[in-house]
Every structure is written in structure tokens, then in C-alpha cells.
Amino acid sequence: MPFAALGLIEPIVQTLVSLDYTTPTAVQQQAIPAVLSGKDVMAAAQTGTGKTAGFALPILQRLFKRDKPVSSNAVRALVLVPTRELAEQVHESFRAYGAGLNLRTMVAYGGVSINPQMMNLRKGVDVLVATPGRLLDLHRQNAVKFNEVITLVLDEADRMLDLGFSKELDQVFAALPKKRQTLLFSATFSDQIRAMANRLLREPVRIEATPRNTTVARITQWLVPVDKKRKSELFLHLLKKHGWTQVLAFAKTRKGVDELVGLLDAKRIPADAIHGDKPQPARLRALERFKLGEVKVLVATDVAARGLDIEDLPVVVNVDLPIVAEDYVHRTGRTGRAGASGEAVSLVAADEVEYLAAIEALTKQTIKRVEESGFEPDHRVPETTAGGQIVKKPKKPKKPKGETKVVQEDVRFRR
Ligand code: AMP
């Protein structure tokens, strides 16, 4: 389906061609016609689904079609986001998609001087992308007026609540015109988000989209650096320490799966395996026992686990990182389903850093490192950046002789 079939006007379609967007994503197919027709939208969608264009394109079109120019200090579409990074990103999208429409867009967030933002608002803006705190500051100082707002977007609503913006949001809602279009985008739908949606949205069009390459925000992800040979021991230690009731563990090879199950058996921890060497009935039986709670730890390889319907799992442990980064998303996606919270823990050895970097680049995050006392690795896992780069540290120069003595003397001196 081409973009034009969704009701987008020629100048926007042309811009999309220049951006190389050929086919609308699932969210865009559903959101664009709904937003164009003025309806409220409640969308379960996160980064990676194309959600930004899903709301930005139809909003720009609606604003373009209105002939009345915006008044001083007024704003016509207000987009609220949790962080300054997202604010910049969303604003950049509006600029790119609105090229050639001659609409005024602006971004505002805290931590930078408010004066230029106040100056920019004087002429009024068609689209304002803002974080809640700074928006309220601007409103209190009469730099922004809400009486011309026709559309409100809450982007990553769950993260805004997680970051404690609930009070600020309520204050913004109270100041907005009652008659308006509201679009709510959230990766997860907790009770609090649902309550907010019930209060704000009128007969919303409901949209759900699963992202291709992202992990669910509600899943707590962390990794433990560890030497390869101590992974099984660390797994047992974490299992006991955290009191995990049920764990789906992933190992790279069939041999690795069998070894871990053997070790768990020896410790009398009910465990079973699913891997390619097992006949299908045996795999299904293992899964059934796991679902019934008879098996506490199910150890699997990626291939064998693909497509398995296991829901509501509290913990997924990557005993080995997957070689294919997308598999990390599949694995972690088995926990934290349907708005439940979950944990995804990875045991990472130094020689897996390339896999780690690829996963972090794909999921656009840096996974938190938690050192486990007594398991500090001899082989350091190199640092990685959010962009998936491995930080290579220069080799330390050899200590000159006698340095130890000097340090000791220093310490004594300080005492
Ligand atoms: P988002 O989920 O809004 O953060 O978008 C994710 C990425 O997909 C962004 O880099 C967009 O530029 C890109 N994108 C969005 N829609 C399309 C599309 N229909 N075709 C190609 N790329 C797209």
C-alpha cells in the first residue's frame, strides 16, 4: 500500500519519496487515516515501529490545511515526550516530514536557557515538541498559550509516568482546551496508563503494533560480566540469590544446554532441556512440565525455542549471548508480556563483547552491568557505548620499579 492511499497530500508524499519511505509500517497504516479524520488514538507502539511518522504526518497535514495562521505565543499541536533526547528526535522528524509545508515547529526542554525558547514562541508555533516540566515553566511565564491547541500527543506515555511526570501532565491537561484531539502512544499499558487513557481519550481508535527490533521497556535488562568457565556456577548462584521461581535459560549449543541441565539435576533443581537433538514430543513434554511448574529451569537453544508459546515468564537468562542480535529481542520478548514486568539477565564473557555490541546497537541501549561479588572476571569485558561501539582501552604502561613502595609511603603520610 502506498502512502498516497492513506489520504496524504502530494507535498507530503513527495517528501516521503525523497526520504526513501516506500511502504507505510503497520502503525502508520492504522494511525494516519485515524488521525487525519480527527479521531483520538490509543496506540501500543514503541520506538522502531515508525510511530513518529504515524502521528507526525497526519498532524502536519491537518495543520497545513487550516488557513488561519497561528497567533502569537499560541501552539496548535503539542507533543509531550519524556526526555530531551526524544524531544530532539521527534522534532527532527517533524522538520523532515514537514519540509516544504511552511509550518513553524519548535522543541523545548529543560536544562538549557529558557529565554531563547520564550523568544521563539512569540510568533506562535504550529508544532511544539516539549518535555512536561519545561512546558509548564513556559506556560507559567505566559510564554505559551494553549487556547489554539487542536491536537495533543503523549509520546512514550509510560516513560513519562515512570520518570515521575504524572503531576506535571495533570497540570498541562487541566490547562488545555477540552475540545481537542488526543493521541496516546505507549509501549506498555499499566493500570495507571489505562486510567489516564480513560480520562483523556474519547472513543479512541485502538492500535497495536509489535516492533521489529526493540525490547520491551518494562523488562529490566542487566548483565553480569563473568569468565566463561564460571557461567554455570554463576547461574546457580543467581538462581538462589534472587529466589527466581521459574527461569527460561538460553545457551548457545546443545552441549551447553545438556551440561547446564546436568548440573541442575545434580543439585536437585528440577530442570529440562529443549534443543534440536530432542524429538518434538520430548520438547513439547518439557515445555508442558515447565508450564505446569514441575520444571523450574528450562534450558533451550534459540532454534528450538523459536515459536514456543511461553507467556508471563518472570525471568529470562542468557547463559550465552546469541550470535544473531535479533535473537536477543526474541529471547527477552518472552518475559514482560502483556504489561507484566520481567527481567532479562545476560552472563557475558570477554569473548562475547562483539555480540553484546551488536545487541546494544540493534536495541539502541546500553545494558546495565552489575558485577557479582566473588565472580569478577579475570578477563575484563571491554566497555561498549550506546551506539554499539567497543571502547578499546590503551594498554597500561608497565609500572616502574619501586612504585609500590612510594604508594605505601603516601598512604602512611596521609594517615
Ligand atoms: P520510530 O519508531 O518512529 O522511532 O521510527 C523508527 C525509524 O524508522 C526511524 O528512523 C524512521 O525514520 C524510520 N521509518 C519510519 N517509517 C518508515 C517507513 N515507512 N519506511 C522506512 N523507514 C521508516
What's the number of domains the chain is made of? 2
pLDDT, average across residues 106-130 = 96
Identify the residue whose cell numbers are 490545511: 65
Residues 1-8: what's their mean pLDDT? 92
**Domain of 300: which CATH number?**
3.40.50.300
Final residue of a structural domain among 147, 181, 208? 208
Same structural domain, 118 and 260 = no
Count Cβ atoms within 10 A of the Cβ of residue 63 and give its class: 0-12 exposed, 13-18 middle, 19 or more buried. Answer: buried
Task: Name 127's bridge partners.
Answer: 77, 105
- Is pLDDT of 326 > 90? no
| Co-location of 188 and 234 in the same domain | no
Does the residue 162 lie in any domain?
A: yes
Q: Which residue in 341, 337, 333, 349 sits closest to 251, CA to CA? A: 349
Does residue 390 form part of some domain? no
Closest ligand 1 atom to 22 CA: 20
Residue 364: phi, psi to the nearest 5? 50, 55
- Interval between CA 202 and ligand 1 midpoint (Å): 28
Name 65's Cβ contacts closer than 8 Å, sequence gap at least 6. 9
Mean pLDDT of the chain: 87
The verdict on residue 129 lying in a domain is: yes
Q: What is the mean predicted confidence (pLDDT) over 75-94?
A: 93
Ligand 1 centroid, distance to 9 Cα (angstroms):
19
Q: Is 168 in the same domain as 249? A: no
Are residue 364 and residue 289 in the same domain, yes or no? yes
Write down the pLDDT at residue 405. Answer: 38
Query: Ligand 1 center to residue 53 CA distance, Å?
Result: 7
Distance (angstroms) between ligand 1 centre and the Cα of 338 equals 24
* 249 belongs to a structural domain: yes
9 with 28, same domain: the answer is yes
Best probe residue, ligand 1, of 1, 21, 159, 186 (max atoms within 8 Å of C-beta): 21
pTM for this entry: 0.58
Burial class (CB in 10 A: 0-12, 13-18, 19+), 366: middle
In a domain, 339, yes or no: yes
CA distances from 347 to 126, 353, 410 (A): 49, 11, 39
Residues 155, 18 share a domain: yes
Residue 201 and residue 318 share a domain: no
* Residues forming beta bridges with residue 349, ordered by sequence position: none
Q: How many residues are recorded in the chain?
A: 415
Same domain flag for 133 and 239? no
Question: In the listed set 187, 208, 229, which residue is the last one of a domain according to the structure?
Answer: 208
Half-sphere exposure at residue 110, Cβ-oriented, CA atoms within 13 angstroms? 11
Identify the residues whose C-beta falls under 6 Å from ligand 1.
Answer: 21, 23-25, 28, 47-53
Flag whether 415 is in a domain.
Answer: no
Please identify, by atom number, the ligand 1 atom nearest to the C-alpha of residue 89: 4
Residue 138 resides in a domain: yes
Instruction: Write out the residue range of the structural domain in which residue 292 sits.
Output: 219-369
Indicate the residue among 158, 177, 208 that finishes a domain: 208
Residue 396 has pLDDT above 80, yes or no: no
What's the grid cell of residue 318? 542468557
Evaluate if residue 23 carries a pLDDT over 80.
yes
The helix/strand/coil state of 135 is: helix
Rounded Cα distance between 336 and 100, Å, is 42
Determine the Cα–Cα distance for residues 3 and 11; give it in Å rounded to an integer. 12
Q: Which of 350, 326, 374 is nearest to 223 (CA)?
A: 350
In a domain, 295, yes or no: yes
Q: In terms of domains, do 181 and 287 share one?
A: no
The rounded distance, in Å, linking the Cα atoms of 253 and 211 is 28
CA of 348 to the centre of ligand 1 (A): 31
278-321 pLDDT per residue, tens: 777 788 788 888 888 899 999 998 766 655 556 567 799 999 99
**Do 170 and 286 share a domain, yes or no?**
no
Q: Mark whether 186 and 319 lie in a shared domain.
A: no
Under the banding of pLDDT at 50, 70 and 90, the label for residue 374 is very high
Same domain, 177 and 253: no
